[in-house]
Amino acid sequence: MPPSAIVNHRIVLHSRPVGAPTVDNFRLEERGIPLPEPGQVLLRTLYLSLDPYMRSRMSDEASYTAPVAVDEVMVGGTVSCVEASQHPDYQPGEHVLGYSGWQGYALSDGHDLTKLDTGIGMTHYTLALGVLGMPGLTAYRGLLDIGQPQAGETVVVAAASEAVGAVAGQIAKLKDCRVIGIAGGSDPCRFVVEELGFAACIDRYNADFAGQLAAVCPKGIDIYFENIGGAVFDAVLPLLNVHARIPLCGLTAHYNDSGLPQGPDRLGLLARTLLAKRIRMQGFTSFDDDGQHYEEFRGRMNTWVQEDKIKFREHIVDGLENAPQAFVELLAGHRYGGLLIRVGHEKEAVDEAAKADALSARS
């Protein structure tokens, strides 16, 4: 029996980061595997999704959700297999979307689980952590409900190579907008243009970022899909058109802030710009969505994915112990696509491998 079957490996918040997180802010622990009580299921994690929002949970600052306590398991969306069940609705072997966090096993009473073996036909389960899950829903709601894109408009998408931005930009393309991406580094920028088909993508680490962005937006910006902030927003602000919309679902450039930056104070400047140009700026998260919108989203997005109108790249890193390093790299902005940690393997795959071993031993 492999070690993961008898020990629960979990990664806890070891210390709160000051500035950018490092791997030292995390700690790998071993625990016993809990047994499900009546009404509970024991889940074995197959995939953990790493997402920028997790950075804000590491700080002791009020945000849209409560912070993770020090010494507690890091939170996160997961695809799991039901390992044992004392819950009438779940049978061993079923696959579920849940929130087990950064660990190999977890108990659930089922309230936060979505079955993945039924319903719409997913090509593979991990899409439930990406284009058909939280990142996809964030992109869908922000771009359509708040952005309200019109054909011919210029849409600029921050963090365009990452899970949320990549989907938001592709939806804008489906709405016949001219879509410009912003990404961190030349490889992600190439991916955004060549694989996702954006009209252009500007490297935010380029010294002339603001000038390059202005050059590819000769008609200004009608929708700015914001999830970075900082110097990227500063470059966008003067380009915004009258009646622009700013769906705001993340501010990764600020997650590492400790204290406010030096002046002058531009809070009033932002308000005056929103007034002078009658701009809508709205924070949102996919957590606020009710179930009804989720079903509409999942059906529509699934169709787009099946028809190859929306592409979704996954980057899979093997082993829970590698999650801290992968997360630190994610925040640096060099990633593209959704970032997944393969925490455990499918039982079928293990059995197939065992069978292959047995066959080869016989030959």
Residues that bind its own copies (CB under 8 A): 62-64, 226, 229-230, 233, 242-243, 248-251, 254, 257, 259-272, 274-285, 288
Largest CA distance in the chain: 78
Report how far residue 318's alpha carbon sits from residue 279's, in angstroms, rounded to the nearest whole number.
44
Q: Which is nearer to its own copies, 293 or 342 (CB)?
A: 293
Nearest approach, Cβ of 307 to its own copies (angstroms)? 32
Q: Which is nearer to its own copies, 275 or 359 (CB)?
A: 275
Please return the burial class of 269, using the count of CB atoms within 10 Å of its CB with bins 0-12, 13-18 and 19+. Answer: exposed
Nearest approach, Cβ of 177 to its own copies (angstroms)? 21
Report how far residue 139's alpha carbon sits from residue 92's, in angstroms, rounded to the nearest whole number.
33
Give alpha helix (H) positions in 58-185: 134-141, 163-174
Nearest approach, Cβ of 236 to its own copies (angstroms)? 12
Q: How far is CA 98 from CA 81, 110, 126, 214, in A?
A: 10, 9, 12, 42
For helices 134-141 and 291-306, what crossing angle results, to 10°?
100
Nearest approach, Cβ of 160 to its own copies (angstroms)? 19
Beta carbons within 8 Å of 210's beta carbon, 6+ residues apart: 234, 235
Q: Which is nearer to its own copies, 290 or 307 (CB)?
A: 290
Report how far residue 240's alpha carbon sits from residue 157's, in angstroms, rounded to the nearest whole number.
13
Report how far residue 252's alpha carbon sits from residue 55's, in angstroms, rounded to the nearest whole number.
8
Residue 147, both tokens: 């952005």
Residue 204, both tokens: 């935010």
Q: How far is CA 313 from CA 64, 84, 124, 148, 240, in A?
A: 27, 32, 13, 25, 30
Nearest approach, Cβ of 277 to its own copies (angstroms)? 7
Q: Which is nearer to its own copies, 35 or 276 (CB)?
A: 276
Residue 362, both tokens: 């016989």
Answer whether 117's CB lies under 8 Å from 94's CB: yes
What radius of gyration, in Å, describes the C-alpha atoms of the chain?
22
Which residue type sits at 211? G
Nearest approach, Cβ of 134 to its own copies (angstroms)? 15
Q: Which is nearer to its own copies, 2 or 261 (CB)?
A: 261
Q: Which is nearer to its own copies, 75 or 96 (CB)?
A: 75
Nearest approach, Cβ of 224 to its own copies (angstroms)? 12
Q: Which is nearer to its own copies, 195 or 257 (CB)?
A: 257
Nearest approach, Cβ of 252 to its own copies (angstroms)? 11
Q: Which is nearer to its own copies, 194 or 288 (CB)?
A: 288
